[in-house]
């Protein structure tokens, strides 16, 4: 467990080369930027029936569109790997101090007692169990959006937001695999057989039309 003095030494070491550790812990953010926006709504679709797709052209078109919206298996594998690695990290004071140092050094106004702020912030983030990747992403977001040095509570809240997003992303990738397999199976089954032919009119219906 980190202590305040040891956190202070880590901050001092990190401040000499603050980007050294931070970049290695931003793999999730870089991958998501590379992939671009993902519409996860297709993942929540109910199970389509092949019989419906076979007889309803509009439903088939919708199913094909939804299948195309779901990331490929290769992309899902990449997301799952980097997110899983990020969430499996143990709290570590050295990369935590590096991320905090970058955030602190880029702010135009410093707190009244910088040493106390840095020591307390690093201690709290490690004590609360945040993974280095989560802290790096949260500090990057704050660095790009905050006008003043954020209070410790704001940094903790940002870390919780990132952590929840990563957990949701891991769950969504698993659901996306199921949705992709479900849609593909229904489409394949529907395409395997031609749509049913319309039933011929019943004899009594034909005689009734003749009488009319």
pLDDT tens digit string along 69-123?
A: 889 999 999 999 999 999 999 999 999 999 998 998 888 777 778 889 999 999 9
With 0-12 CB in 10 A as exposed, 13-18 as middle and 19+ as buried, what is 30? exposed
Indicate whether 126 pLDDT > 90.
Answer: yes
Whether 202 is covered by a domain: the verdict is: no
**Residue 99 contacts residue 12 (beta carbons within 8 Å):** no
Whether 32 is covered by a domain: the verdict is: yes
**Segments forming the whole domain that contains residue 188:** 4-192
The closest of 149, 103, 83, 157 to 125, measured between CA atoms, is 157
Whether 211 is covered by a domain: the verdict is: no
Q: What is the pLDDT of residue 173?
A: 93
Distance (Å, whole) CA 139 – CA 100: 7
Whether 204 is covered by a domain: the verdict is: no
Q: What is the pLDDT of residue 152?
A: 94
Whether 208 is covered by a domain: the verdict is: no
Q: What is the pLDDT of residue 5?
A: 40
Whether 210 is covered by a domain: the verdict is: no
The closest of 133, 106, 104, 132 to 116, measured between CA atoms, is 104
Q: What is the pLDDT of residue 205?
A: 54
- Which of 35-39, 149-153, 190-194 has the lowest average pLDDT? 190-194
pLDDT interval class at 136 (50, 70, 90)? very high
**Residue 162 contacts residue 141 (beta carbons within 8 Å):** yes
Indicate whether 190 pLDDT > 90.
Answer: no
Distance (Å, whole) CA 67 – CA 181: 9
Whether 203 is covered by a domain: the verdict is: no
Distance (Å, whole) CA 72 – CA 70: 6
What is the model's pTM?
0.76
Whether 59 is covered by a domain: the verdict is: yes
More confident residue, 128 or 17: 128
Indicate whether 4 pLDDT > 50.
Answer: no
Element (H, E) at 209: helix 203-211
Indicate whether 29 pLDDT > 80.
Answer: yes
**Residue 183 contacts residue 73 (beta carbons within 8 Å):** no
Distance (Å, whole) CA 8 – CA 3: 9
Mean pLDDT within 137-151: 92
Number of domains in the chain: 1
Which single residue is written with the structure tokens 């990738």? 173
Cα 119 to Cα 16, 20, 101: the distances in Å are: 16, 20, 11
Which 8-state DSSP code applies to residue 28? H
Instruction: Answer positive or negative: Cα dihedral of 154, 156, 159, 160.
Output: negative
Q: What is the pLDDT of residue 59?
A: 85
Which 8-state DSSP code applies to residue 56? -
């Amino acid at each position: 467990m980190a202590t305040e003095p040891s956190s202070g030494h880590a901050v001092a070491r990190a401040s000499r080369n603050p980007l050294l550790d931070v970049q290695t812990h931003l793999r999730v953010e870089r991958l998501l930027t590379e992939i671009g926006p993902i519409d996860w709504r297709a993942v929540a679709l109910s199970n389509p029936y092949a019989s419906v797709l076979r007889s309803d052209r509009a439903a088939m078109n919708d199913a094909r569109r939804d299948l195309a919206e779901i990331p490929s298996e290769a992309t899902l594998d990449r997301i799952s790997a980097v997110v899983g690695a990020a969430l499996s990290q143990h709290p570590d004071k050295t990369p935590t101090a590096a991320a905090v140092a970058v955030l602190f050094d880029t702010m135009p106004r410093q707190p009244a007692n910088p040493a106390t702020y840095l020591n307390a912030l690093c201690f709290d983030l490690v004590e609360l169990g945040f993974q280095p990747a989560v802290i790096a992403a949260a500090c990057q977001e704050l660095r790009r959006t905050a006008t003043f040095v954020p209070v410790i509570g704001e940094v903790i809240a940002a870390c919780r937001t990132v952590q929840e997003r990563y957990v949701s992303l891991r769950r969504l990738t698993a659901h996306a695999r199921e949705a992709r397999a479900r849609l593909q199976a229904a489409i394949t089954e529907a395409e395997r057989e031609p749509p049913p032919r319309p039933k011929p009119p019943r004899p009594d219906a034909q005689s009734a039309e003749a009488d009319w």
